[in-house]
Structure 1
Amino acid sequence: MADDDKKPIIKKVKKVEGGGAHGGAWKVAYADFVTAMMAFFMLLWLLNVAPPETLAGLADYFSPTSAAVIGNTGSDSINPPSEDAEGMNPSPLVIISDPGKPQTGPSEGKEKGGKGDSKLDELAERIKDQEDLAFEDLQEQLRLAIQQSPQLSEMSDQVIMEITDEGMKIQLVDKDRRAMFKSGTDDLYGYAKAMIAAVGDSVATLPNRLTIEGHTDGGAFSGPNGSTNWELSADRANAARRVLDETGVTNDRIAEVIGKASTDPIFPDNPFKSENRRITILVLREAPVVPPSAGN
């Protein structure tokens, strides 16, 4: 009996081992793979249905190179003198802010021409921003030159400066009691010649080409040999060109010398107003050089 009480106790443990194909780990991996493939094909579908403008915006967003766009920081716009302003103190200098197009995002205004066109548009925009800054500096130089000269300061209300899509427009206008040219001729008064020379000194520092326009008022004119306002306006524009040439603006920078007679008045409702008689000097914007492969 005592031997029976000392029998060893044997504990049997059943060891269960997972066998490769019978486990569940592969299901988790497969589910991850299917999810990734679904996301990938959804991305391809979204890229296929997205418009080119959106794709261009995404490309610009992830582009490693970026440039800060500097807009025109001009002050409030000042309009040219009007008839209602007569009798009031004239503005010492009229500067019209750039009325250009509103600021656009990197993907707006781009044609559906692919990446090449978007790069050209970006280059053109950068050049325009740089030219705007140069034009603003030119405005400041002229403003200071006029203020510091007693002779030019008397003509400060006859200078209108404006930055446009074509470039920087500088208009030197007549006043009722202060004309720039002797009546019916292309002979400049001394103060008018000094003003054009001041403009020449300022624009001589820029590489841009110039267009010079002569304008008359709507009054009929009949000069020697049957000349009209057309010949008179052209002669006056050429007289301004000669003054610019004396200040260092070389002939290769002159794009055009044009006589417009009375076809482009500042005040269309009053074609006989003295301010319609003027010289316009347009500092042209320079178009960016397009590489030969850009059009392919």
Structure 2
Amino acid sequence: MSETLQPIIIVRKKRRASGGHHGGAWKVAYADFVTAMMAFFMVMWLVATMPQEQLGGVSEYFKNPSAVAGRSAVMTPGANGPGGAGNVPIKMFDHLRNPPGAGPDTKVGERSDAAERARDAADQERLEALQRALEKAVASSQALAPFKDQLLIDITPEGLRIQIVDTLNRPMFDLGSQNLKDYTTRILIELATYLNQVENRVAISGHTDNTPYSGASDISNWELSSQRANAARRALVAGGLEEAKLSRVVGLASSVPFDKTDEANPINRRISIVVLNNAAERSAARSDDALTPVADAPADEP
């Protein structure tokens, strides 16, 4: 018996193609990620280096960056009206194009403040240079060196201060008098040449110790200190100091002692000359303005 022929069955299995490189789509995604990270770090750098007022401009911009009217619940006021883009971001980087004081777009207050700071810095350098010149002169000048122990020079909030103080054996004035000793006159005349080297104005004050004035009954240390300050003024002018450079001449009696622990100390008897800085001049001007009386308005005629 012949064998029954069986049909041959061939099973074909389809192989699924592997993902491979996804057709390069991952590269696009990675590029987007790198771009986003770069933008993120640039924003972080700007935030870290940007002044506070400009950060406010950035904040306002992202609240409503639209250039047309929008429907924001909180409308940002700006040049384009409510809901439009604010004008703060537009000026955000003006400090790079127009530093304060350098261009018309800069606010008037910013220009004024920057100019004022620049003037004050130059003024400080000028006074410090004058201080060094005076200290050198006191150490080497034939007119000033003998009195170096009586000449005190320092920088104060008002400016450069030069104090000529009494010592027990070398007073500046005759006892109870406004008359300058000859050597005090020579000191002041020498100082005048240095005071003219700067454009700053000068304030002079006279000081006494707390010993009551023993002269005429109608004169006190207030009058005496004022007279001595004025005598110092006359000597400085005789030495060449321009009258226009004088700001004030006052007598303070014993109200501002040099030695607060011993108000009878001879060092409290002194003449103080201050080369005024710009800040002191502005303060004095504001005080003068505050004290200037306002004229009454004319009464209405009946």
Normalised by the length of structure 1, the TM-score is 0.61
The worse-fitting range, judged by mean Cα deviation, of 218-227 and 259-268 is: 218-227
**Cα shift readout 1:217-259 (whole Å, capped 9, x = no counterpart):** 0111143351100000000001111111112222221111010
The separation in 2 between residues aligned to 1:53 and 1:218, in whole angstroms, is: 57
Secondary structure of residue in 2 paired with 1:226? coil
Residue 269, structure 1, aligned to residue 270, structure 2:
no
Residue 247, structure 1, aligned to residue 247, structure 2:
no
* 5+ long unaligned stretches in structure 1: 1-21, 67-113, 290-296
Contact 1:213 1:260 in 2 (8 A): yes
Alignment of 1:49-64 (within 5 A): 51-52=52-53, 63=96
Residue 230, structure 1, aligned to residue 222, structure 2:
yes
Give the match for residue 258 of structure 1: 250
Give the alignment partner of residue 221 of structure 1, picking from 213, 223, 236. Answer: 213
- Percent identity over the alignment? 30
Contact 2:152 2:162 in 1 (8 A): yes
Q: Give the partner amino acid of 2:184.
A: A
Give the alignment partner of residue 126 of structure 1, picking from 103, 118, 138. Answer: 118
Judged with a 3 Å threshold, the aligned counterparts in structure 2 of structure 1 residues 265 and 247 are, in CA distance, closer, same or farther, namely same
Secondary structure of residue in 2 paired with 1:224? coil
How far off is 1:44 after superposition? 11
Give the match for residue 3 of structure 1: none
Judged with a 3 Å threshold, the aligned counterparts in structure 2 of structure 1 residues 142 and 38 are, in CA distance, closer, same or farther, namely closer
Aligned-pair RMSD on alpha carbons?
Answer: 4.0
The separation in 1 between residues aligned to 2:247 and 2:271, in whole angstroms, is: 15
Residue 284, structure 1, aligned to residue 285, structure 2:
no
Give the match for residue 208 of structure 1: 200
The separation in 2 between residues aligned to 1:41 and 1:143, in whole angstroms, is: 53
* 5+ long unaligned stretches in structure 2: 1-22, 57-91, 100-105, 283-302
Alignment of 1:59-78 (within 5 A): 63=96
Question: How many residues in Structure 1 have an aligned counterpart in Structure 2?
Answer: 217
Give the alignment partner of residue 156 of structure 1, picking from 148, 156, 167. Answer: 148
The separation in 1 between residues aligned to 2:174 and 2:146, in whole angstroms, is: 18
Q: Give the partner amino acid of 2:248.
A: E
The separation in 2 between residues aligned to 1:170 and 1:41, in whole angstroms, is: 54
The separation in 2 between residues aligned to 1:33 and 1:141, in whole angstroms, is: 62
Contact 2:206 2:253 in 1 (8 A): yes
Contact 2:221 2:253 in 1 (8 A): yes
Give the match for residue 186 of structure 2: 194
Q: Higher relative contact order by CA 8 Å / sep ≥ 6: 1 or 2? A: 1
**Cα shift readout 1:34-74 (whole Å, capped 9, x = no counterpart):** 83897499669958x9734989xxx99x85899xxxxxxxx
Give the match for residue 96 of structure 1: none
Normalised by the length of structure 2, the TM-score is 0.59
Give the match for residue 165 of structure 2: 173
Which structure has the bigger radius of gyration? 2
Contact 1:211 1:256 in 2 (8 A): yes
The separation in 2 between residues aligned to 1:189 and 1:45, in whole angstroms, is: 67
**Cα shift readout 1:83-137 (whole Å, capped 9, x = no counterpart):** xxxxxxxxxxxxxxxxxxxxxxxxxxxxxxx976565554444333322332233
